[in-house]
Structure 1
């Protein structure tokens, strides 16, 4: 073996290359650990800036400092951007975060906030205008807008939101709007309007079930309003040939109910 010159030369070259590689690797490691690459600045921007120049409404430096910054590790080169993104997405009100490096010691974080539409379920969570359910300060959300109440089985958030938007569009024709929408565990729809009237629409049988029942209600609503004024409490539209109505007139304190058979 020791008399094989070619083999010895190849072995020496390989060892020399390995040592050179290790020296180069050590040099690179030494360079990237220099203090100049320590993260000095984390700039936070907003995805959508309002016409008044405002940026983030609910995410503030204090919540970022307390929630996100303690979870960031490494420097300009070694910081895991996925981990940084996850740290910022753990901040209340943050819907989505994106992170970029800026030479030599800066991170640019762009945040998109949730825009609350209403509450979801009974546990105090919020639902956004995009159908995302999240946890945040309810009082802050109430400062932004009048919240509607949405409820449904887990995983149905976007379906309930889409149906709410359809209800809103349909009832706008008679100057009413949903205050709450409930999609029960039995897959039956119900809603409460901003005049206090509860409307039961039942289960969907085909693509036109809900629309046809709402249309039927809107056809008779002017007559109901003329005769009962604001005393309508509940309208049950689950009957194929009619409806069930419950009303109470504040002046006489009586209950009036009209029923039809064949509820579906």
Structure 2
């Protein structure tokens, strides 16, 4: 090899390339460690109805590791999404020492159980309920049923609309039986779904009889049990009226 000029030249060139790469790597490492690239600013945009930029920054800044070049954007996004009310966050770098964050908040539909909220998409989340602007309907149900309860809530809105009443509480019991409390004060037992039309048919029967029922007993209907095959039972002003041709409940 030492007598082969061509091989010596190739070896020398290879050493030069390695040396240049090492120098470039060292220079690059030195450059990205410069204080000019330390993260100094977090720009927050998007939906911030229930969160303030200072609170978000204070909550997240301790979780951000690295500088402009080395910060893990996925880890940063996850940190922002841990902030109450934040459903989704997108994070990007802004030259030379900033992050730009766009937030998307949960849109609350109602309360869930004792200490959670449920979004319009049926997602459960935890946030300070004192920050809510309006009184929201109350929901509850077994674990994993939030989306089903939200979907049924929208059905109940349509089905009870002819009564000029809206659902204020919707509960799915551990036995998967439905209870609805309306804004007019009536609590309605709907029972379990036997098929896809069970609840709709029971609500239609009740709504169709509403005028005659209130005409006889007044509008202060405290309770209605719709679990009968061909009728329902009500309680109004201390009285109980049964509109039923088959006494056996489903």
TM-score (norm 2): 0.90
1:256 paired to 2:248: no
Q: What is the CA–CA distance in structure 2 between the aligned matches of 1:149 and 1:187, rounded to whole Å? A: 17
The count of aligned residue pairs is 248
1:21-79 superposed Cα distances (whole Å, 9 cap, x missing partner)? 222111111112222222222110014xxxxxxxx222113421331111112111111
2:153 match: 164
Match of 1:31, SS? Answer: helix
Pick the aligned partner of 2:103 from 108, 111, 121. Answer: 111
Alignment of 1:104-253 (within 5 A): 104-122=96-114, 124-141=115-132, 144-247=133-236, 249=237
CA apart distance, 1:180: 0.6
Bigger shift: residues 38-47 or 8-17:
8-17
Structure 1 gap ranges (5+): 48-55
Post-superposition shift, 1:12? 4.4
Instruction: Give the unaligned 5+ runs of structure 2.
Output: none
* Cα offset, 1:3, TM superposition: 5.8
For normalisation by structure 1, the TM-score amounts to 0.86
Question: How large is the Cα RMSD of the aligned pairs?
Answer: 2.0
Q: For the Cα contact (< 8 Å) 1:42–1:108, is it kept in 2? A: yes
Cα drift, residue 13 of structure 1: 4.1
Q: Which residue of 2 aligns with 1:58?
A: 50
| Map of 2:69 onto structure 1 | 77
> Does the Cα contact within 8 Å between 1:63 and 1:91 map onto a contact in 2?
no
CA contact (8 A) 1:152 1:160 kept: yes
2:24 corresponds to: 24
